[in-house]
Amino acid sequence: MELTKLLELATTDVEPSPALLTQTRRGGQRRIRRRRASAGSLALVLALVGFAAPRALSRQGPDRVVFAGALFDGQTHGDLSSDATYRASVLQAWGASHATSLNAGRGIFEDMRGQAKVVWAGTTPAGPAAVVSQDAFLHHHADISLEHEGVYQLLGFVGPGADGQPTVVADTYPAPGVQSDIAWYVDSGRHVVAALDTGKPLGISFGWVYGKDGSVSRTYAPMSQHDGVALFELPPGTVPGLSVHLGLLPVTSPDDVRGVLGGVVDTRPAMKRLDWINPGGQGETVMPLGGSWQADAGQLRARFNAAVRAHQSGGTPFSEGFSLWYAYGTTPSGRQVVVGEHQLEEDPSHLYAVLGTGSGQVFVPGGEVDPASPLPVAIRLPDSDGWIVASFERTLEYRIGTGAWIRAGRDAALVPDASTAVRVTGNSQIVVPLTH
Amino acid sequence: MARDEGFDVFVLGASRRLLRTAFLLVGDRGTAEDLLQDVLERMYARWSRIDDPHAYARRAIAHAATNRWRTRRRHAEVPLGERDAAAGTEPESACRDVLAALATLPPGQRAVVILRFFDDLSIDQTAAALGCSTGTVKSQTARALPRLRALLAFAEEPC
């Protein structure tokens, strides 16, 4: 047999996941969205929501790409549409905002075409707000992703500035296949969210809710419609988190989620929560706990993710979460167990154990993970099946009461249910009590 | 063709081959899947500027796999001679043997062998994909084949 045929034979069973295309597109759109809303001093002020491009765009001829929707019918909408003074001040603010825009470095304002027009002007709980539209010829640029050079519709989102005068808080362009930013915080205090009306009821959600039973969900509050723009005023005292979702009501699946606010936030600190166990590594770290069960990363990932997602509702258009490590083994009662750390968007990661298989499977939530702890992982299994503890590149010992320390392993270990403390030894030695 | 449509066609048509290339390069299915998805996401983000998606993807996968070898040595490699006595089906057995043999090669030689004999690239194409000279491809091939031949039984192929 030739080497070529040997290599072919060795890969016969290797098939891509049916979800690869969907996952890749979501991930790619997220990368673009983050790149466009690049980090900078203004990034925390701007908080944009992206909507799936095919729903937000329409094409007028081969060279003009525009936003789609009732708002773009040539008229000015909103209860301030007849206020010529306000419209004029909005247009003046638009023209003056380009030099300081995050998108200025991408050259989108260098070849403006036609006149700017206010397409919506209305009253919001935070004060008057507006949407401005103007065409520009976009050229290829090192930091802009275009399907082709040509005329694109630019949008400017306007709110009342600190001095009450119209201020452009964000601008965007409709790159095909890219999340288009079509919602914004009207005020710098983030009390009012505005979004371009999609023609269907929109809801807004301010974060994941983690139940004690391991469930993870979101609730969506309806936004009010105002002649082309949907508005929502945050209840007093509400502090918007890092992942605010907009969705088409009722939101029953990830496909209903139309945008995630918070993409301008650098996620690296959050990623460290997952990375603590293998800093700088690629792929997943697998830590066997002992027992007869032998599994690889793919098997562990599949079992862990299926269990976590079965307890998750609401969805996210970008990432369904993942773990970068798994500890697994067989418990004293003979059940297989997998432990991992799951993170949704920018939220703190959570620890979960999946015990047993099939109809007898038990899902055990372990709470938030603190990577700075000397023992970041300590999850107690039900039915006295023990504790799974982990601290990467540390030696682990346990004891029961005042008994002798018993070596349990390195990196991760399954220790008896009656254990009362774990001693973690690296450069130093720390005793961590196990709270029953 | 619109970005999404063109990208979709590429992914649906090329992902199986690319995943298999990645699998041979890294020796682990889960890692290969992650590596491929990462490469495809980056391609999506710059799709309009990629002239030859197949060449781009192969190059990116080869580079990512090489970087992985440089930065991570904790990955358990399959030792030769530890085959399960109750070996499974022919493809499973072949897979185990081939991965074990490839694992004995230095990263550069491994990549050259896979691109040349699995992806059927020419010497010039392999050199372009790996960012090295054609002379390097020839010398790496010449070093790798005798070693593989000592571990795997395969017939002579033109280099």
What's the rounded mean pLDDT across residues A213-235? 92
Weakest-pLDDT range from A71-75, A76-80, A216-220, A244-248: A244-248
The answer for B8, left when phi > 0, alpha when psi is -120 to 50, beta otherwise, is alpha
Residues in chain A with CB shorter than 8 Å from the CB of B29 are 14, 296, 298
Which SS3 state, helix, strand or coil, does residue B158 take? coil
Q: What is the Cα gyration radius of chain A? A: 26
For B15, the closest of A20, A148, A278 (CB atoms) is A20
Higher confidence at residue B141 or residue B69? B141
In this structure, is residue A118 part of a structural domain?
A: yes
**B12/B71 same-domain check:** yes
How would DSSP label each residue in A183-252?
A: EEESSTT--EEEEE--SS-EEEE---EE-TTS-EE---EEPEE-SSEEEEEPPTT----S-EEEEESS--
The reply to whether residue A29 touches residue B29, judged by beta carbons under 8 angstroms, is no
- Our CA-based measurement puts residue A410 at a distance from the nearest CA of chain B, in whole angstroms, of 14
B19 and B66 part of one domain = yes
**Please, which residues have CB within 8 angstroms of residue A308's CB and are 6 or more apart in sequence?**
A321, A340, A342, A352, A363
Looking at the fold, whether B61 and B106 belong to one and the same domain comes out as no
- Out of B28, B51, B76, a domain closes at B76
**What pLDDT does A60 receive?**
55
**Does residue A84 sit in the same domain as residue A175?**
yes
Q: In this complex, is the C-beta atom of A110 within 8 Å of any C-beta atom belonging to chain B?
A: no
Is the CB of A13 less than 8 angstroms away from the CB of B145? no
Q: Which residues of B touch A280 (CB under 8 A)?
A: 71-72
Domain's final residue, options B36, B55, B76: B76
- Is B8 close to A23, i.e. CB distance below 8 A? no
Name chain A contacts of B72, Cβ cutoff 8 Å.
280-283
Answer yes or no: do B70 and B36 share one domain: yes
Structural domain boundaries, residue B61: 1-76
Which residue of A4, A24, A59, A324 is the best one to mutate when testing the B interface, meaning the one whose CB has the most B CBs within 10 A?
A24
pLDDT of residue A282: 40
| pLDDT greater than 60 at residue A45 | no
Q: Is residue B158 part of a domain?
A: no
pLDDT band at A146 (very low <50, low <70, confident <90, very high): low
Expressed as residue numbers, the domain containing A121 is 20-261
Between CA A34 and CA A264 the distance in angstroms is 6
B chain contacts of residue A35, beta-carbon cutoff 8 Å: 45
Residue A167 lies in a domain: yes
- Within 10 A of A82 (CB to CB), how many other CB atoms are there? 10
Mark whether B94 and B70 lie in a shared domain.
no
Q: Indicate the average pLDDT of chain A.
A: 81
Nearest Cβ partner of B41 from A13, A27, A53? Answer: A27
For residues A239 and A337, membership in a common domain is answered with no
Say yes or no for a CB contact (<8 Å) between A4 and B157.
Answer: yes
The lowest-confidence range among A41-55, A90-104, B112-126 is: A41-55
Which has more confidence, A215 or A59?
A215
Is the same domain home to B111 and B48? no
* pLDDT tens per residue, range A159-215: 998 888 999 988 888 765 445 667 888 988 778 999 988 778 899 988 888 999 999
Residue with tokens 């258009």: A317
Cross-chain residue pair A145–B48, CB shorter than 8 Å: yes
Q: What is the pLDDT of residue A298?
A: 80
* Residue A219: HSE in the Cβ half-sphere, 13 Å Cα cutoff: 4
For residues A146 and A50, state if they share a domain.
yes
Residue type, A65: V
Query: Cβ contact (<8 Å) for A7 and B48?
Result: no
Within 8 A of A56 by CB-CB distance, chain B residues are none
Residue B23: partners with Cβ closer than 8 Å, 6 or more residues away: A11, A14, B29, B32
A246 and A308 belong to one structural domain: no
User: Most A CBs within 10 Å: which of B44, B92, B99, B147, as the mutation test of the A interface?
Assistant: B44
Using an 8 Å CB-CB cutoff, list chain B residues near A1: 153-155
What integer is the mean pLDDT of B33-48?
A: 85
Is there a domain that residue A230 lies in?
Answer: yes
Cα–Cα distances (Å) from B18 to A48, A86, A326, B37, B60, in that order, read 35, 56, 26, 10, 11
> Is residue B69 classed as helix, strand or coil in its secondary structure?
helix
Indicate if the alpha-carbon torsion angle B111, B29, B48, B118 is positive or negative: positive
| Chain B interface includes A21 (CB < 8 A) | yes
Q: Is A98 in the same domain as A233?
A: yes
> Are A252 and A386 part of one and the same domain?
no
The structure tokens listed for B153 are 């039984």
Beta bridge partners of A327: A287, A339
Q: Please, what sign has the CA dihedral across residues A66, A70, A73, A76?
A: negative
CB contact under 8 Å between A20 and B40, yes or no, is yes
Same domain for A71 and A134, yes or no, is yes
pLDDT digits (tens, 9 = 90+) for A287-315: 999 888 999 888 898 899 889 988 987 66
Q: Of B30, B45, B76, which residue constitutes the final position of a domain? A: B76
pLDDT of residue A36: 40
Q: How many CB pairs under 8 A join A and B?
A: 163
How many domains are there within chain B? 2
Rounded distance, CA B94 to CA A66, Å? 54
CATH number at residue B58: 1.10.1740
The answer as to whether B12 is a domain residue is: yes
A66, A58 in Cβ contact below 8 A? yes
Higher pLDDT, A206 or A382: A382
Q: Is the pLDDT of residue A53 over 50?
A: no
Q: Do residue B7 and residue A23 have CB atoms under 8 angstroms apart? A: no
**Is A4–B23 a contact, with Cβ atoms under 8 angstroms apart?**
no
> How many of the other CB atoms lie within 10 Å of CB of B37?
21
Cα separation of B1 and A196, whole Å?
28
* Domain end among A236, A261, A286: A261
Report, as an integer, the average pLDDT of A99-125.
90
In a domain, B96, yes or no: yes
How far is A264 from chain B, CA to nearest CA, in Å?
Answer: 17
Same domain? B40 vs B63: yes
Percent of chain A at pLDDT > 90 equals 43
Query: Cβ contacts of residue A65 below 8 Å, gap of 6+?
Result: A57, A59, A150, A151, A152, A153, A174, A175, A176
Q: Does A323 touch chain B (CB under 8 A)?
A: no
User: d(Cα A91, Cα A104) in Å, to the nearest integer?
Assistant: 18
Residues A171 and A297 in one domain: no
Most distant CA atoms of chain B, gap in Å: 53
A309 and A237: one domain? no
Residue A6 in any domain: the answer is no
| Amino acid letter, residue A366 | G
Residue B57 lies in a domain: yes
Residue B31 is nearest to which of A12, A53, A283, comparing CB atoms? A283
Asked whether the predicted pLDDT for residue A38 surpasses 50, the reply is no
- Our CA-based measurement puts residue B42 at a distance from the nearest CA of chain A, in whole angstroms, of 6
Cα radius of gyration rounded to whole Å, chain B: 16
Which of A158, A346, A336 is closest to A243 using CA atoms?
A346
Same domain, A183 and A220: yes
Is residue A42 over pLDDT 80? no
Partner B contacted by A142 (CB < 8 A):
no
Asked whether residue B34 falls in the same domain as residue B97, the answer is no
Place of tokens 């167990």: A337
DSSP-derived pairing of the beta strands A150-160 and A64-67: parallel
Residue B125 lies in a domain: yes
Residue of B nearest to A1 (CA): B154
3-state secondary structure of A272: helix
Interface of A with B in 22-61 (CB under 8 A): 23-25, 27-32, 35, 53-54
Q: How far apart are CA B62 and CA B42, in angstroms?
A: 14
In chain A, what residues touch B117 (CB-CB under 8 Å)? Answer: 3-4, 7
Q: Look at residues A228, A261, A294 and tell me which one is the last residue of a structural domain.
A: A261
Could you tell me which of A348, A326, A346, A321 has the C-alpha nearest to residue A337?
A326
Domain for residue B157, yes or no?
A: no
Based on the structure, what is the number of domains in chain A?
A: 2
Based on the fold, state whether residues B94 and B144 are members of the same structural domain: yes
Looking at the complex, report in whole angstroms how far the Cα of residue A145 sits from the nearest Cα belonging to chain B: 6
What distance in Å separates the CA atoms of residue A325 and residue A300, rounded to the nearest whole number?
Answer: 9
End residue of a domain, out of A206, A226, A261: A261
Is the same domain home to B93 and B60?
A: no
Same domain membership, residue B16 and residue B69: yes
Which residue of B20, B46, B105 to mutate against A (max A Cβ within 10 Å)? B20
Q: How far apart are CA A220 and CA A251, in angstroms?
A: 8
Note whether A83 and A231 are same-domain residues.
yes
Domain match, B96 and B67 both:
no
More confident residue, A238 or B31: B31
A129 lies in the same domain as A77? yes
Chain B residues in contact with A5 (beta carbon < 8 A): 154
